[in-house]
Structure 1
Amino acid sequence: MTKVDGIGLGYSYHLPTAGWGLKLRNSLSQFSDLFSEFNKYIAPAYHHDRCERSVQMRLYTMHKREFVMVFIAFFGCLGLGIFIGMAGPPITSTTEIDGKSLLTKDNRTHSTNNEIATGPFTMRSPAMTTYCQQMWLIAKLSTDNNDDEILDKSFQISISIEGLTVDHKPVTVIDRFLDYTHYIITVNFYDLEGFHQRYSIKELKFYFKTYNPAFTQIEIWFRFIFLMATFFITCWFAHTLKKYAIFDWSIEQKWMSILLPLLLFYNNPVFPMTFLINSWIPGMIDALAQATFLSALLLPFFR
């Protein structure tokens, strides 16, 4: 308050000028008001009442007994899966062939002959079906070297594959599918003669390895069972929430509505087509569906 000369009471009031602190406080207050308008679109904090903001999930109203039953059911299914995996057939099937038995009679008893280091080794595969899915040929050689020396030798291999028709006629294989019951495979080694002369290759084993057909059948049935279970759960989930607007769904419910359809494709309804047609399309669909579901499942951890 200051005294002013002239007409009037002689006094006037001057309001204090606003400082930076007051201006900043006013700006924050305005921003808070604007922020509160979008408050219902943002994930709730611990003090927010979620039940009034979105569709209430069954998880928030479950009792202790129901929680216990859910965990018992989960671990029961997990234990059942582990038991089936341990009691079921092995994933792969392996057939062993002695490489020396593929040589001529004179060379079987003379391991110093270079033929064991070169070949050719011509062998017939075990009976194959489409349930075998893939076929691997593995070679393992042993030497007379008894010390702990580590050997590193580079060499070349040539392999020719022919399929046997119903008339037992060899046909050159040009695709990657198991179209024939038996295959004739010829293997040749190159640049192993000097290695054999120094370390003496005493044993050579070939292994035909494929997926176990019994395991493939179990895989088909398991995929079908999980596919049907996922389909019914998806339908039940959609029926439960269809009476509510999507705007009122919680973020978990919205994310679950995306994961369930992806889980349907993860179980791959066209998986049996892999064994019925010789095409790369079913395999590509299966790999793409699995990669998409796993990426969507792990996406929230990378936010």
Structure 2
Amino acid sequence: MAREIESSVQMRLYALNKRQFVLVFIVFFMCFGISVLVGVAGPHIVETVVKNGSTLIPKPDNLNTGPFHLKSPPMSTFHQQLWLTANIITDSTGGGRFEQPFLMGIRIQGINGDIQSVVDSDSPELNGDLHNRSRLLRCRTVCEDLIVLHLGFLDYANYLINVYFYGLDNSKFNIKTIQFTFKSYNPSFTQIEIWIRFVFLVLTFLATCMFAHSLRKFSMRDWSIEQKWMSILLPLLLMYDDPIFPLTFLVNSWVPGMFDGVFQASFLCALLLFWLCIYHGVRQTDRRFLRFYLPKLLIVGLMWIAAVTLASWQEYNELQDPTYYYRLDTNNFLGLKIFFFIVGGLYLLYLAYLLIRAYAELRSMPYFDLRLKFMTALMLIVLSISIAITILRFGSGVLHDNFVAEMSTNYENSAEFVSFYGLLNFYMYTMAFVYSPSKNAMYETHFKDNPALSMLNDSDEEVHYGSDEEATMTTRNFTKYDSDDDFR
């Protein structure tokens, strides 16, 4: 295949021998394993308080209608969010399945101090107005939990919640009791989360500075496509680790949480765009914006818009009404969900096409073959672990009702959270190390990143995994070829 000669800074990837390649992956897995152990030793993520509806004080007039007067446990900003769920237990013993639509009314008031000091809030969700929401009770052997309300940030020390049911008195089964469950983040986990984010933020800042320092003597036009992308992804990783995360606990506002969601979506979509550009750009030097970047930006940009819109839409509706539940807004939710999966499917097809084309055209070229093998191996490792974490977290419902972020009771400890953060951070650190300039990179003449010309007489084994002596000879050959006028 004829390919235009492209000058680029020699990457450390080309100077690694077999032992060093193995050591790079061993260090990656060791760091990831340490993060998993830290997560396993961490506290439970969810703090749960259960209250039985039949033993509440004052006692409800009727279990089928209420009202149920609930007072939340003491809350602080370290609890981050508050969920209230209801589990209705009926006297059904036959295991039959039935559905019962009904109306749920919720009145919420904030308390600072004792119960005598009920706060008159101007916010629409906490001013004591009655919020009415339609719900559907689904029962088989047991009934599904009902989401009563969700508060995205906590302004008060306690909350008074009155719950009313309308329509359940017509059900063919009698209600034995109702278990109300308050769920929030464990303050101990919140402290661990702050420290983990801070540690990764510092490590990412150091990695970004070191990578930028290693490229300071080279012109940007001579950077390889991997090096250019790393100069974009590392600052985005800083945003992913969220330097403004502590503001969540200092400012009683939904804004820091919204920015955290936007930062995470931006980094993950940039990573998806990076994979597309790498597998296409490694075999094509003509990277004009309209032909090269625009189709990829269109696909990934639509995914970013869908993710941010879903998060913002849910956040906005919950701010206006904490009883809002996205599963019941079926038209808008399902439309965005289907749109996201269609665009995601197109992305996967496009990525598979670019990967197959890259391997078909470049697998016989030593340098490009090495770049493809490293990129693909590390990408598959990250994707495999990410999919495993997601399945462990959400189970078989990963493609159904967990599409929008909500409290997941499958979290038993901090392992999934820490391992996922560690996975992405260590993935970026590994690429920053491998794609940084090698010690033997030339400062005045440029490395011809074209194996068809520069490595005609070398075998793949010698180029990829030479011994230490062979690596020295390879470096000497680089200097020879780069100084040869025939290859300029």
Using CA pairs below 8 Å that are at least 6 residues apart, which structure has the higher relative contact order?
2
Q: TM-score over 0.5 for the alignment?
A: yes
Please point out which of 171, 183, 186 is paired with 2:159.
Answer: 183
Alignment-derived partner of residue 240 in structure 1: 214
8 A contact 1:103–1:116 mirrored in 2: no
8 A contact 1:161–1:172 mirrored in 2: no
Alignment-derived partner of residue 15 in structure 1: none
Please state how far the C-alpha of 1:298 moved relative to its aligned partner: 0.6
Please point out which of 163, 167, 175 is paired with 2:110.
Answer: 163
8 A contact 1:103–1:119 mirrored in 2: no
Q: 1:192 to 1:61 in 2, by over 3 A?
A: same
Secondary structure in structure 1 of the residue aligned to 2:243: coil
Q: Does 1:123 align with 2:73?
A: no
Q: Does 1:154 align with 2:101?
A: yes
Please point out which of 262, 265, 268 is paired with 1:288.
Answer: 262
Please state how far the C-alpha of 1:104 moved relative to its aligned partner: 5.5
Alignment-derived partner of residue 22 in structure 2: 68
> Which letter maps to 1:40?
I
Moved over 4 A (4+): none
Partner Cα distance (1:164, 1:280) in 2? 19
Matches within 5 A, 1:3-18: none
Q: Which moved more, 1:172-181 or 1:279-288?
A: 172-181
> Which letter maps to 2:33?
G
Alignment-derived partner of residue 82 in structure 1: 36
Please point out which of 159, 181, 196 is paired with 1:222.
Answer: 196
Matches within 5 A, 1:48-63: 53-63=7-17
> Which letter maps to 1:272?
P
Secondary structure in structure 2 of the residue aligned to 1:188: strand
TM-score by length of 2: 0.49
Matches within 5 A, 1:259-298: 259-298=233-272
Q: Highest CA radius of gyration, 1 or 2?
A: 1
Secondary structure in structure 1 of the residue aligned to 2:100: coil
Please state how far the C-alpha of 1:172 moved relative to its aligned partner: 4.1
Encode CA deviations 1:263-296: one digit per residue, 9 max, x unaligned: 1111111110011002232122211111111111
Unaligned residue ranges in structure 2 (runs of 5+): 126-150, 277-346, 351-488
Partner Cα distance (1:243, 1:208) in 2? 57
Q: Which moved more, 1:235-244 or 1:169-178?
A: 169-178
Q: Does 1:193 align with 2:169?
A: yes
Please state how far the C-alpha of 1:103 moved relative to its aligned partner: 6.1
Alignment-derived partner of residue 138 in structure 1: 85
> Which letter maps to 1:72?
I
8 A contact 2:109–2:119 mirrored in 1: yes
Secondary structure in structure 2 of the residue aligned to 1:94: strand
Alignment-derived partner of residue 40 in structure 1: 5
How many residue pairs end up in the alignment? 248
8 A contact 2:76–2:154 mirrored in 1: yes
Please state how far the C-alpha of 1:167 moved relative to its aligned partner: 5.0
Secondary structure in structure 1 of the residue aligned to 2:235: helix
8 A contact 2:79–2:186 mirrored in 1: yes
TM-score by length of 1: 0.77
> Which letter maps to 1:254?
K
Secondary structure in structure 2 of the residue aligned to 1:184: strand
Encode CA deviations 1:48-93: one digit per residue, 9 max, x unaligned: xxxxx31111011112222222222111111112212222111111
Higher share of residues assigned helix: 2
* Percent of residue pairs identical: 50
8 A contact 1:165–1:171 mirrored in 2: yes
8 A contact 1:91–1:212 mirrored in 2: yes
